[in-house]
Chains A and B, each alone.
Chain A
Amino acid sequence: LAKTTQPISMDSYEGQEVNITCSHNNIATNDYITWYQQFPSQGPRFIIQGYKTKVTNEVASLFIPADRKSSTLSLPRVSLSDTAVYYCLVGFNNTNAGKSTFGDGTTLTVKP
């Protein structure tokens, strides 16, 4: 399984753009990259998923360079409610097999 490395913590202020980068040097050819958000005492919530280049949805963007050895989650104009732990997962492939394991995650603290 591809191991992921993220910064342990990040601080930001309301209204700023936040970029969280995840390293996954051993990513396999068929692996997807998925980001989750978790609030205390809740299950993780899906944010975005991508395979290559750029993916954008209503809450975030995901940038994946050509070598796919890293990925960057971009949160535009964060608010206090975005304070949470963000996890980068690599490990699914495009079959009904495989499993995903969580890295240590990044604790994002948004300040007023």
Chain B
Amino acid sequence: GAVVSQHPSRVICKSGTSVKIECRSLDFQATTMFWYRQFPKQSLMLMATSNEGSKATYEQGVEKDKFLINHASLTLSTLTVTSAHPEDSSFYICSARVVGSGHNEQFFGPGTRLTVL
């Protein structure tokens, strides 16, 4: 299957700093990528849909000025958590969708563990 990578895999930062997470589709082009957040023992929560060359679509309750998403190319989307606070500590997961004849598949990255001190 297609491979999606995320960088970094783990980051610890101080409160008030900004953190950028990269999501790359390694062997395919993805016009659409998704960003999810997952708290311990909970399901994945969709934060936003990232479309190449256009503005991201955010889910209700997700602050677009705090979670900046840039999808500048068909293989890269970035999520920047601005002025991070301890409550932003979570597991952030991206995915990229492949649309083909007769199927739709969504491939997930390995996730990024963010800890804000």
Contact = CB atoms under 8 A, between A and B. Distances in A.
Interface of A: 32, 34, 36, 41-46, 49, 87, 89, 92-96, 99-105
A87 B34 contact: no
- Nearest 10 interchain pairs by C-beta: A43-B108, A92-B104, A102-B44, A102-B43, A44-B108, A43-B111, A43-B93, A43-B110, A96-B99, A101-B46
B103 A96 contact: no
Contact of A102 (B46, B49, B109, B110): B46
B105 A87 contact: no
A92 B107 CA distance: 13
Given A96-B32, A99-B49, A102-B43, A43 B106 contact: no
Given A41-B91, A41-B111, A41-B113, A49 B105 contact: yes
B108 A104 contact: no
Contact of A49 (B49, B103, B110): B103
Interface of B: 1, 4, 6, 31-32, 34, 36, 43-46, 49, 91, 93, 95, 97, 99, 102-111, 113
Contacts of B91: 41
A94 B43 contact: no
Contacts, number: 62
A46 B99 contact: no
Given A46-B107, A102-B45, 5 more contacts: A45-B108, A92-B104, A102-B36, A102-B46, A105-B43
B82 to A, nearest CB: 23
Contacts of B1: 46
A27 B37 CA distance: 24
A106 B61 CA distance: 26
A87 B43 CA distance: 9
